[in-house]
Amino acid sequence: MNFLVTGAAGFLGVALSNQLAREGHVVRALDDLSNGDNELLFEDVHFTRGDVSDRPKLWSLLQDIDCVYHLAARVRVAESLLYPREYTDVNVGGTVSLMEAMRDVGVRRVIFASSGAVYGNQLDQPLNEEAKTYPRSPYAVSKLAAEYYVRTIGELWGIEAVALRIFNAYGPGQSLPPSHPPVVPNWLRQAVRGGSIIVHGDGEQTRDFVYINDVVRALTAAATAPDLDGAIINVGSGQETSANELAAKIMEVTNSHAEILLTPNNDPGVSRMCADLTLAKKKLGYKAKTSLADGLVKTLELDKRFQKSKK
């Protein structure tokens, strides 16, 4: 098949693009490189630097494309609190521009990478796709709004559209920005360096951590699975892990003596989060294969940044 992947130089985009190329597909990749590295893409991935709102560029890249993976987005929750307009421009405006370009060229299938963050605080766990959404950040709002645009525009213009709500993905190559880095690579880095692992709140808040290879399997399955038009599907591990449990597991797999520090006055975010994968199994034949312990070990083994830190 012929694919276009937007946001292809990001953490998830690189893993997906390389896997599609590995399977023998033609892959066109688009990224503005604001938070990615195209050097990580395989040589046979056809990379173009550009903005997802650039309609003329999209018209060119979409020629003869069978399916689009729309991953391009700004993704830092804390940053979105400061810059909600920018998150709306990229995550919502960019999505609408892409859907318009797909309509113009005649591409008929799009897979949108949404987020489990759209659920917000929920008493009932695990979270299924029928739950009401309570987004708590501009980032989450932008992802939810983009879901509506993808589905609505798809219905209007005959584009088969599916949104995958991806939970806390982690694995080798995940970005480590100076401020508000993702928890798994940040704590791994602190553990191997013998630093301090900072746990917000009391550490009892939970998340669903899903290894990158499992996410990619769900994404690739969505390209050819039948009867997905308009579907919203969770992608996670189906396992609920507290911050305290994650810290302990990281200490164990790194054999670290790093100090764990609780910061009770800091907002830990939503209290619980775990994906119900019933629909993913039914529609995609998906089940997470990698346990948290195995995923952490693989991340340590495959990510050179952590290997360097050990020396």
Q: Are 102 and 89 a contacting pair, CB within 8 Å? A: no
Q: Residue 28 burial (CB < 10 Å; 0-12/13-18/19+)?
A: buried
Query: What number of residues does the chain have?
Result: 311
Q: Is the dihedral of CA 242, 234, 132, 97 positive or negative?
A: positive
Q: Angle formed by the axes of helices 183-193 and 243-254, to 10°?
A: 40
Token pair belonging to 88: 């709306």
Sole residue written with tokens 């060229």: 105
Is residue 134 part of the annotated active site? The answer reads no
Q: What are all long-range contacts of 105-108, with beta carbons under 8 Å and residues at least 24 apart?
A: 105/58, 105/59, 105/62, 105/63, 105/65, 107/4, 107/62, 107/65, 107/66, 107/67, 107/68, 107/159, 108/158, 108/159, 108/160
- Three-state DSSP class for residue 296: helix
Catalytic residue among 69, 119, 139, 211: 139
| E strand map for 85-224 | 109-115, 160-166, 168-170, 196-200, 206-207, 209-211
List residues with catalytic annotation: 139
